Amino acid sequence: MRAAAIPQSGNILYCGVRILPGEQPGEYEDEKLGIMVLELKKLPPEAQSEEGVVRWMRFLSGKGKEDLAEMAEKDLYLKEAYEELERLSMDEEKRYAYEAREKALRDHISMMNYAMEKGLQEGRDKGYAEGRDKGYAEGREEGCDRVNRLNCLLMKDKRYEEMARAAGDREYQEKLFREYRI
């Protein structure tokens, strides 16, 4: 989300917040959704006429049906908005359709998030298994190389009995590894 403010004589008169495309998959992205706040009390006196945005702000902050109807009588556009509000509030079928669409969108986002998490977990599991197998293979190879070096050094020094003993005794083998610094 990003926010912007327009300063007016040291006070913030207008503030807008808009939801922009998210950085993570599945984040709610809708450039149509935003929140705009215009503080009518902070408007300079010359801008407090019933023109444009101020009129709409007063309409949207109407206290009740009577206020809205009264404002709608004075302006054609407000009248259309008032009639649309009336129609939407009476038409249960459209409200249910809207709610069903919103639920479907939330469900879709939820399924996408679940699929992403599942895919990431499968990838981590596969990577872990491959890493474990590779590490095990490398460890075996290093262990064999270490034993082979020890055996070569023991044969060079003609220590055949110790080589045979090291083959069956891990502690003795480790002692020889330290002795030969392997």
DSSP lists the bridge partners of residue 36 as 16
Mean pLDDT confidence for 90-99:
78
Answer yes or no: is pLDDT of 90 > 60.
yes
Which of left, alpha, beta for 52 (phi over 0: left; psi -120 to 50: alpha)? left
Taking only the tens place, the pLDDT of each residue in 11-34 is 555 555 555 555 555 454 555 556
Q: Higher confidence at residue 146 or residue 26?
A: 146
Looking at this protein, which amino acid is placed at residue 178?
R
Distances (CA, A) of 45 to 40, 48, 157: 10, 5, 104
Among the residue ranges 58-72, 108-122, 143-157, the one predicted with the least confidence is: 58-72
- The domain segmentation of the chain, as residue ranges, is 1-41
CA-CA distance, 108 to 100, in Å (whole number)? 12
Query: Looking at residue 3, what is its pLDDT?
Result: 44
Taking only the tens place, the pLDDT of each residue in 95-123 is 788 788 889 999 999 999 999 999 999 99
